[in-house]
Structure 1
Amino acid sequence: MSYALASKKRKFHRVLESLSNNSNAPKPSPPKPIPKDPTVATPKSIDPTIKRVRLTPGSEPDDTIIRPSKSSLPSRSSTTSLRPNFVPWDRDRFLERLETFRRVDRWSPKPEAINEVQWAKRGWSCVDVMRVECVGGCGHSVVVKLPDDIEELEEYDSEKIEERKQVRTALVEEYVKLIVEGHGERCPWRRAGCDDSIHRLLLGKPENALKGLKERYTNLHSLAKKLPCIERIVLPQNMDMNELLKMIPPETFSTSDSESKIAGAEKETPQRTSGESEETPNEGTHKDINKSVLALALFGWDLCGDKRAGLASCNACFRRLGLWMYNPKEDGSSSIYPTLDVVVEHLDYCPWVNAKTQSGSEKQLSQRSPVGSALAGWEVLERVIRNVHRRKTWSADSEAGSAGNNDEISDLGEIDIEARKAKDREWWARLRRVRQALQVKGPKKSKGAA
């Protein structure tokens, strides 16, 4: 046997021995669990050998190492499920941004050119004290702060007041530019914003306008006891509540209380005597209407949160009213405010009271009404109620007139049928006489021929 062949056999046997020794070797014991002591466990303090054991197939996973990876999963899924930010045509998203300016501890009133509506139209949201940010977009932020208006303070001289005015005007012009240029270079809000009509109330369709009125009335009806009486509510001079109340459809006030009263009135109706005056269904329904609730509902006020809080709010300007301030206190003292003005309590730019906001831009206003008579939201709702009532009145009159015309037509139809039958009989009689006159008698046959 050669030396090379013997050396190869020895190497082969050594390999077999090493394999058999590894298979018969005792397996390492599993690592002991790490005590979950808050004073011990940080990922950096774990022994490196435990990390190597974690990589072996038979080892158990360590909770302290896997926990960070589990917590990172929800954040990835939440980022993928975010709604798109640049939707300038979406009115609901615009109102969401506008609502962020509601808190008085974060935002104070600004001039019309840089008020909260202008910032919300360009995608900005109020995130901190006098700070707006493009949330979900470029992420840029702007601090909006103006010097105080000292025009009414006498201790300042006229030169300082004029200087303060100039500084304030210059800052307003600068902030007007920042509404657009404050966004990033690639931010879509820098190129375009919301249309001027984005804040307009959707009152064009009568069914939608009356549906919204019904919802607000139903919601506010739960606060009827907390509302001030109708005598303490200030309405516009050109609005007649009693006249408008008769025009509103009765189904608008179909709350649970009014329905029960109407049902009780219907049950009592057969017991009336013939001498008693009967009320129409509309009159019986309108007597149960709470005028204070209706006054607030007609001007866009709605229930805010839980009814126990006693708050009413506007869903267009997000102004809130504490109704307890307009009622006398429990100890008998007078209320904080003597009256509740349903128009003045709205913010200036609210479409319920601002005709320009409700109509859109000046160009759209001139195209819509050449005369230039813009209407606020409550005026549009009043016109819708009057138009619906007028159409119902016309339809009722036309139905009554058509019924009378049908009776006359039926009488005339019977007369026409009889006259036609008489003419037909006369015509057939003449036809028979003409036939008899024209009939030629043939020669008589002879008997021989027969």
Structure 2
Amino acid sequence: MAAPVALNTTKRKFHKLLDNLTANKSQTSLVSVRDDPDGSTGSLTTAPAEPPPKRSRLSDLSMERPPSAAGGRARPLSRDSLLPRNSPERPGSVRLVGPQAGEGPSTPRKTPNYAPYSHDQFLARLKTFADVRLWSTKPDRIGEVEWAKQGWICEGWNTVACKGGCEQRVVVILRPKRKDKDGKEIDNSEDMSMEVEDELVNRYSDIIVTGHTEHCLWRKAGCKRDIYHIPIARRDRCEQDLFRRFQSLIAIEAHLPPPESITYPGEPPETISTFLPASFFAIADVSETQAIPDGIASSSPPNTIALAFALFGWSGVRQEGLNLIVCDHCFQRVGLWLYTKERIQQISLKVDVEESHLRLNLLEAHREHCPWKNPESQHNPVDGQLANTPAWKTLQYILGASKRKSPTLGQSLTSQKSPVHHPQVDKTDKITDTWKRLKSRLKSTTSKRTSNIGS
């Protein structure tokens, strides 16, 4: 029975040592315990020899676990493992991540490659086709819009790729290369004088879908038909976007063409300006996300030239010393130096063309597929008043709808003065008149009967 007594004594001494360490009653380190040959703790503590608190049997069993349970080797004890669980010095079992852990703000989640619902990603893919040095004009069925809707980008000369997806590539060759004066083919060129065969167009129309691999999600479904739609149905939203474009044009105001050098359809900008708040033309620095403030009177007449450009979707930029107007949807770029009054006069005399034919048409300058110009690309709801209407007409209607007496599309855009008849209203009026006559007749009959009874 001597062995069990010695074992229990040793266990009590060990637990006493742990209590002293956690209570900070002794400054003795674990090195002293390791160097003591007989395991005695008499020289390590100055606490009175009182019986230690009883330990549970589960604690004793955990201390008696053989080394084999820990993978054949006993786990070394560390200072952190001996600290109390609620001690601030002991590392927690749950690691905090994010700003609370001092790691800075988390990285925003990246949009996946397959996002047919994303309008921004569609425009980003479409922008890769804007460079005329990489992509030549194609029929509408296999134009850049159709490729971008199905997940393709332009990676090289008439070469599309499913970047980030199945990584397939397709070279779109519709016409032979142009030749130089020596009869040699010119690289990265295309003979635009040659007609495109319908069978070839049909073939590439199928490849827009089947060019992806079998497992690629872009092969299963592309973007919806209305992905190109410009959301300007809300007046506050369209005013903010118009204001952003207007301010970018004011920044290059000195380089904008004069009124006689531009042309455009629809309402004149002077009329549209009366539908806008006065502060629209007075505030110079407003963030894109801010609403246009009210109550600030305009100190100068509105710049109708800049407003005309903004009404047709154009923004002003200055790149490498050149002043340009750009469209954020079809990515067309137009150099303003080509439409100065002097330039138009020179070209008119040189080619013997009237100056009116050389003016900058703010609508026709867009690419054919641009929603500012193309009603199919804009794809307004087919059951609404703005059905089959391009974006420029939609914008003018939205800005003037709340100011006009009769906010119907036909009257707001064509200024029709003839009255509009509504069959449903006419039918309701007839029923009302019939009911009034019936009530009058019934009242008359009742009065006669009452008089006869009284007599």
Within the alignment, does 1:194 sit opposite 2:223 as a pair?
yes
- 8 Å CA contact retained: 1:230, 1:292: yes
Paired position in structure 1 for 2:398: 384
Q: Is the 8 A contact 1:352 1:377 kept in 2?
A: yes
TM-score in terms of structure 2 length: 0.54
Which residue identity does 2:175 align to in structure 1? P
Question: 1:339, CA displacement in angstroms?
Answer: 1.0
Q: Cα gap change, 1:227/1:334 in structure 2, threshold over 3 Å: closer, same or farther?
A: farther
Q: String of CA shifts for 1:229-273, please: whole Å, max 9, x gaps.
A: 11211011x42333222222222223449xxxxxxxxxxxxxxxx
Q: How far, CA to CA, are the matches of 2:173 and 2:339 in structure 1?
A: 33
Deviation (angstroms), 1:290: 1.4
1:303 corresponds in structure 2 to 316
2-side partners of 1:379 and 1:321: how far apart? 22
2:337 is the alignment partner of 1:321:
no
Q: Which of 230, 250, 260 is residue 231 of structure 1 equivalent to?
A: 260
Deviations 1:363-418 (A, max 9, x none): x52x345xx85211111110111123349x9xxxxxxxxxxxxxxxxxxxxxxxxx
Q: Secondary structure at the match of 2:308?
A: helix
Paired position in structure 1 for 2:166: 138
Distance 1:286 1:119, change over 3 A: farther
The answer to whether the 8 A contact 1:223-1:307 is kept is no
Q: Does 1:114 align with 2:142?
A: yes
State the partner residue of 2:372: 352
2:154 maps to a residue whose letter is: C
| 1:139-176: CA deviation from partner (whole Å, max 9, x where unpaired) | 001111212799xxxxxxxxxxxxx75x6111100001
Return the alpha-carbon distance in structure 1 between the equivalents of residues 276 and 321 of structure 2: 29
Gaps (5+ residues) in structure 2? 1-107, 179-193, 286-294, 408-455
Runs of 4+ in 1 over 6 A off after TM superposition: none
User: Match of 2:309, as an amino acid?
Assistant: L
2-side partners of 1:339 and 1:149: how far apart?
33
RMSD: 3.2
SS in 1 for 2:280: helix
* Gap change, CA 1:307 and 1:209, over 3 Å in 2: farther
The letter for the 1-side match of 2:121 is R
Structure with more of its chain in helix, by fraction? 1
- Partners of 1:388 and 1:343 lie apart in 2 by 25
- SS of the aligned residue for 1:175 comes to helix
Distance 1:382 1:148, change over 3 A: farther
In structure 2, relative to structure 1, the CA distance for the partners of 1:222 and 1:334 (3 Å cut) is farther
Q: Which residue of 1 aligns with 2:362?
A: 342
Q: What are the residue-to-residue correspondences of 1:268-287 with 2, within 5 Å?
A: 285=298
Distance 2:326 2:153 in 1: 20
One-letter identity of the residue aligned with 2:243: K
Given that residues 375 and 390 in structure 2 are in contact (C-alpha distance below 8 angstroms), is that contact kept between their aligned partners in structure 1? yes
1:27-176 map, 5 Å: 83-147=111-175, 168-176=197-205
Structure 1 residues 298-447: aligned runs within 5 Å: 298-306=311-319, 308-328=321-341, 333=346, 338-359=358-379, 365=382, 367-368=383-384, 373-390=387-404
Aligned to 2:242: 213
Say which SS state the counterpart of residue 345 (structure 1) adopts.
coil
Give the match's secondary structure for 1:180. Answer: helix
**Per-residue deviation at 1:334?**
5.6
Higher relative contact order (CA 8 A, sep 6+): 1
**Quick one: structure 1 residues 128 and 389, their matched pair in 2 at CA, closer, same or farther if it must change by over 3 Å?**
same
Does structure 2 conserve the Cα–Cα contact (< 8 Å) formed by 1:358 and 1:375?
yes
Distance 1:313 1:129 in 2: 23
One-letter amino acid matched to 1:342:
L
**Kept after mapping to 2: 8 A contact 1:313/1:321:** yes
In the alignment, is residue 246 of structure 1 matched against residue 274 of structure 2? yes
AA of the residue aligned to 1:147: R
8 Å CA contact retained: 2:249, 2:306:
yes
Q: For each residue in 1:331-366, what CA deviation from the matched residue of structure 2 results, as whole angstroms up to 9, or x when unmatched?
A: x95689831100010001100111111126xxx52x
Secondary structure at the aligned position of 1:137 is classed as coil
What amino acid maps onto 2:369 in structure 1? Y
Identity of aligned residues (%): 33
1:185 Cα deviation after fit: 0.5
The secondary structure found in structure 2 opposite 1:302 is strand
What's the secondary structure of 1:123's corresponding residue? coil
CA distance in 2, matches of 1:368, 1:81: 37
Work out whether residues 206 and 388 of structure 1, in 8 Å CA contact, stay in contact via their aligned partners in 2: no
Structure 1 distance, partners of 2:307, 2:177, is: 39
Q: Distance in 2 between matches of 1:149 and 1:243?
A: 50
Q: Alignment length, in residue pairs?
A: 268
5+ long unaligned stretches in structure 1: 1-79, 151-163, 258-280, 394-450
Report the Cα distance in structure 2 between the residues aligned to 1:378 and 1:249, rounded to whole angstroms. 20
